[in-house]
Amino acid sequence: MAHRIVWIDTLKAMTIFLVVIGHTIGLPTPVERLIFSFHMPIFFWLSGLLVKKNIREIPFRAYVKNKARSRLIPYISFSILSYILWFFLFRHFGTQAQLNISPIRTFIGIFYGNGINHWMDHNTVLWFFLCLFVTEILFFFLIKIPSKMGLMVALTLFSIGGYVDTWINRPDGFRLPWNMDIAFSMVVFYGIGYLCQPWLSFDIWKNRLFKWGLGATCLALYTVCSLMNLKVAVVAGVYGNYIFFYTAALSGILFWVILAMQIPANRLISKIGDSTLIIFPLHLLVFPFLTAIIVYGFKIPSSIKEDSILLSLAYAVISILILLPVADGIKKYFPVFIGLPGKDKK
């Protein structure tokens, strides 16, 4: 993109905050349902929204090479870092020590790429990079469909197929490598994001009555369907009710988009939004250090996390603030680790 769009950075910042706080353990069940109903679908939707308009003209080999650099290189980099920390530190303390997961299983999990059943205990959230890569490869072929109507029909069929697949590939059973089965459902949000590109530039968005009316409607649908459904876990292919899942996710996405559009430019928010690629895979590595400070530094039982919303907020805010300078350092000195070109290639 030639320039950054303020509301997109704002949306990224809000979403990454919800992802981070959603991975704490002090939230009430209703709040978890509201967060998990949309917080992963919106990342796929955003990725689709930012698809280049010339995607149909890009050769497949060049497309795969580009996506491998931007998705697989960060995955490998963060996997190596996470595994080293897990092997020497994290697996020896707390819940990880009680589980006693084999280092060999976790090492194999780096290549298998599924974030459930203890395959990626070194850093569960890394499943997203592989799933996004598979989703984008899948979408490359879907975009060859000549009409938007045909694409929408295909996305509808994938939504059904991906949902039915969750009956076959159960969370406690066999799962396709690299989250291929999850990609069947996530490509729906990716494709809808792509289809929204022209729609979000319509003049109707300048009408305050339209925005607030639509926002209120989306908030109502998002809240009701999230709370009526079970807690969604995209990583495990747990979507609950088909209608509730897609209604909550899509209305939730639209609500947060409208909300992000109302927030004026803010330097800190923009910085967070620009650092999601690094905050997302690293925040779970910060949590154990914060817990160690609480338990060993302040002599507070770790069980306090289970009942404290304020502590969950503190974990999220502190983790993000810690990772902002880390993100700056990686982008400045080690851009190749996250799939960005080095200074000599810019």
Average pLDDT over residues 187-204: 89
What local confidence, expressed as pLDDT, does residue 91 receive?
92
Q: What is the DSSP letter of 303?
A: G
Q: Are 121 and 106 in contact (CB under 8 A)?
A: yes
Q: Tell me the two tokens of residue 72.
A: 């697989």
Average pLDDT over residues 146-175: 86
Q: Tell me the two tokens of residue 335.
A: 């851009």
In-domain check, residue 202: yes
pLDDT above 90: residue 291? no
Q: Which domain holds residue 270?
A: 6-340
In-domain check, residue 268: yes
Distant-in-sequence, close-in-space partners of 17: CB < 8 Å, separation ≥ 6: 272, 316, 320
In-domain check, residue 169: yes
In-domain check, residue 316: yes
Q: Are 343 and 61 in contact (CB under 8 A)?
A: no
For residue 341, name the pLDDT band (cuts at 50, 70, 90): confident
In-domain check, residue 259: yes
The whole-angstrom separation of Cα 188 and Cα 154 is 9
Residue type, 74: P
Mean pLDDT lowest for which of 3-7, 22-26, 211-215?
Answer: 3-7
Query: Nearest CA to 117 among 72, 37, 171, 185?
Result: 171
Residue type, 133: F
For residue 94, name the pLDDT band (cuts at 50, 70, 90): confident
In-domain check, residue 346: no
Query: Nearest CA to 269 among 14, 3, 1, 71?
Result: 14
In-domain check, residue 219: yes
The count of structural domains within the chain is: 1
What local confidence, expressed as pLDDT, does residue 307 receive?
66
pTM of the model: 0.93
In 10 A of CB 297, how many CB atoms? 9
pLDDT above 70: residue 305? no
Q: Tell me the two tokens of residue 344.
A: 């000599």
Q: Tell me the two tokens of residue 302.
A: 């770790």
As a whole number of Å, the end-to-end CA separation of the chain is 15
Q: Environment class of residue 301 by beta-carbon count within 10 Å: exposed (0-12), middle (13-18) or buried (19+)?
A: exposed
What local confidence, expressed as pLDDT, does residue 58 receive?
93
In-domain check, residue 243: yes
The whole-angstrom separation of Cα 101 and Cα 118 is 7
Q: Environment class of residue 345 by beta-carbon count within 10 Å: exposed (0-12), middle (13-18) or buried (19+)?
A: exposed
Q: What is the DSSP letter of 233?
A: B
Helix locations, the chain, DSSP H: 6-22, 29-36, 41-49, 60-67, 73-88, 94-99, 103-112, 127-142, 148-168, 180-195, 208-228, 242-262, 267-273, 276-292, 309-333
pLDDT above 50: residue 346? no
